[in-house]
Structure 1
Amino acid sequence: MSKSTHGRRTLDLLGEAIVSRRYAIGAPMPSEPLLCEEFGVSRTVVREAVKSLVAKGLIVTGPKVGTHVLPDDQWNWFDPDVITWQARAGLTPEFLRDLQDLRRAVEPAAVRLAAERATAEDIEEIEAAFAGMKHAVEFGGDYVTFDLRFHHGLLRAAQNRMLAQMSKALHALLRTSFEISTVKKDGPAMSLPMHRAVLDAVIAHNPAKAERAIIKLIDGAREDIEEVLGSRRRLPRLGRPPPRLKAA
């Protein structure tokens, strides 16, 4: 295993341990020698991982005070690693509701911009994603991946670098939402016309209509997630491949 692979693995293991509360907030983390022994890596690898965790807002370190886990409101929730670690550790109701609020605030504005700015190439990409969703509904297959591709395509079509980066933070929510929809009877089939309405409004360069269409889609997804949270059913775990639809 290469040095870079050791470093990545160590960072992921430490990050997941923090996010899953194996290391309690405010509590000191194990000493450097103990971490080296636990993960079977050098001090250099551990120190680099600690630097990354400090940069992501998960821990603070200093002379004489040691290394401590920070409260989660100080974590960088726009960092894709932090989102991934939380997804692997388990999506909590609080985490999902925060992401739903973020999606409701961001995606309608992004779709308005997409309706104003989308290029022919952007529309071709979103059309291809919609075609993949439709094919999965009609003939079976991976619906979730194409649904993700559809929404990421909309964010990219806004032609705003910050919104494009935000899609990484939204990824966990979007995938969870789409997986929940796939287990509901006729969920994907019922959502297809709503996706088509968004796409048609973007093609027509009608920002107001596009915004209304995406809000309808988002609010439906919120209801699906709240229903699952209320039922206390287990949420999807994102470390596994997305479920596949059966042929209609």
Structure 2
Amino acid sequence: MAQIKNVHGNTLDRLGVAIMSGRYAPGAAMPPEPLLGEELGVSRTVVREAVKSLVAKGLVSTGPKVGTRVLPAEQWNWFDPDVVAWQSTVGLTREFLRDLQELRRVVEPAAVRMAAERATPEDIAEIEAAYQGMRRAVEEGGDYVTHDLLFHQGLLRACHNRMLQQMSKALAALLRTSFEVSTSRKNGARLSLPLHRAVLDAVIARNAGKAEKAVLVLIDAAGEDIEQVLASRRRLPKLDAPARLLRVGA
């Protein structure tokens, strides 16, 4: 979302944000394509293609007699990076972040158990490289979030389960949301670093039980970070911008 988008991408973003902000409520009909095109300053063809994308993402349905109608949020594809980014633009809600934490508690402990049993030397090297990138960002400043994401994606790939490997791609935007919120808290990244090390060391030691417990500690610590950031009423990060860079000592 941070990169320059074409007319289709910009139109899609504007409509997606309009839906998620409640401008077009669930069950309500959106304006006809000609009116939307006039409002957005784009052609009817561009609107039609954007609506097709919204259908694919589960935000709307279309029909010859009912037009384009907004679907309930439960039907939206929350694994779609655009949907997550639009939610970030509108505002990350407590409910959204709670759902994310619960998803992590369901998926990641079981995945890390498998990673401890199945990880290859190449997998370990990849996760270690991601960890070292996190460490450098804490000690020298830089992009912590991207390396944090690579760390967790590496763990999911190390399961050598095709469905979990596919899920690592789908989870990317959701995980980035959690990491951005956690690192927005003072010393959040520095405090989280040894928790990541404990997970990786347990995977290297092939200790599945210890790895599972370590990742639960990590996830719960992230949950506490999120609760504190929400309680502080601090402005939450936006995902349509590059990852936040750490300053030395942050």
- Normalised by the length of structure 2, the TM-score is 0.89
Amino acid at match of 1:237: K
Task: Report the equivalent of 2:181.
Answer: 180
Gap runs ≥5 in structure 2: none
Q: Is the 8 A contact 2:79 2:173 kept in 1?
A: no
Q: Is the 8 A contact 1:28 1:68 kept in 2?
A: yes
- How far does residue 39 in structure 1 lie from its aligned partner after superposition? 3.0
Q: Is the 8 A contact 1:201 1:210 kept in 2?
A: yes
Distance 1:152 1:49, change over 3 A: same
- How far does residue 136 in structure 1 lie from its aligned partner after superposition? 1.5
Question: For 1:199-220, what per-residue CA distance to the aligned partner results, in whole angstroms no more than 9, with x for missing partners?
Answer: 1111122211111110010011
Question: For 1:73-111, what per-residue CA distance to the aligned partner results, in whole angstroms no more than 9, with x for missing partners?
Answer: 111222232222222222111111111111111111111
Structure 2 CA distance, aligned partners of 1:13 and 1:125?
Answer: 37
Task: Report the equivalent of 1:30.
Answer: 31
Structure 2 CA distance, aligned partners of 1:183 and 1:78?
Answer: 23
Structure 1 CA distance, aligned partners of 2:235 and 2:106?
Answer: 27
More displaced, 77-86 or 190-199?
A: 77-86
| CA RMSD between the two structures | 2.0
Q: Is the 8 A contact 1:129 1:149 kept in 2?
A: yes
Determine helix, strand or coil for the equivalent of 1:234: coil
Q: Is the 8 A contact 1:136 1:142 kept in 2?
A: yes
More displaced, 182-191 or 130-139?
A: 182-191
Determine helix, strand or coil for the equivalent of 2:142: coil
Structure 2 CA distance, aligned partners of 1:189 and 1:223?
Answer: 15
More displaced, 42-51 or 23-32?
A: 42-51
Distance 1:94 1:108, change over 3 A: same
Q: Is the 8 A contact 2:185 2:229 kept in 1?
A: no
- How far does residue 169 in structure 1 lie from its aligned partner after superposition? 4.4
Question: For 1:96-155, what per-residue CA distance to the aligned partner results, in whole angstroms no more than 9, with x for missing partners?
Answer: 111111111111111111112212221111111111111112222222221111111111
Structure 1 CA distance, aligned partners of 2:168 and 2:92?
Answer: 17
Structure 2 CA distance, aligned partners of 1:226 and 1:74?
Answer: 26
Determine helix, strand or coil for the equivalent of 1:60: strand
Task: Report the equivalent of 2:104.
Answer: 103
Task: Report the equivalent of 1:211.
Answer: 212
- How far does residue 190 in structure 1 lie from its aligned partner after superposition? 2.1
Q: Is the 8 A contact 2:58 2:71 kept in 1?
A: yes
Task: Report the equivalent of 2:137.
Answer: 136
Structure 2 CA distance, aligned partners of 1:200 and 1:165?
Answer: 25
Task: Report the equivalent of 1:191.
Answer: 192
Q: Is the 8 A contact 1:36 1:46 kept in 2?
A: yes
Task: Report the equivalent of 1:122.
Answer: 123
Task: Report the equivalent of 1:163.
Answer: 164
Determine helix, strand or coil for the equivalent of 1:199: helix
Q: Is the 8 A contact 2:81 2:173 kept in 1?
A: no
Amino acid at match of 2:134: M
Task: Tell me the number of residue pairs that the alignment of Structure 1 and Structure 2 aligns.
Answer: 245
- How far does residue 168 in structure 1 lie from its aligned partner after superposition? 4.2
Amino acid at match of 1:143: Y
Gap runs ≥5 in structure 1: none
Structure 2 CA distance, aligned partners of 1:35 and 1:8?
Answer: 15
- Normalised by the length of structure 1, the TM-score is 0.90
Determine helix, strand or coil for the equivalent of 1:77: coil
Structure 2 CA distance, aligned partners of 1:122 and 1:236?
Answer: 31
Q: Calculate percent identity across the aligned residue pairs.
A: 71
Task: Report the equivalent of 2:93.
Answer: 92
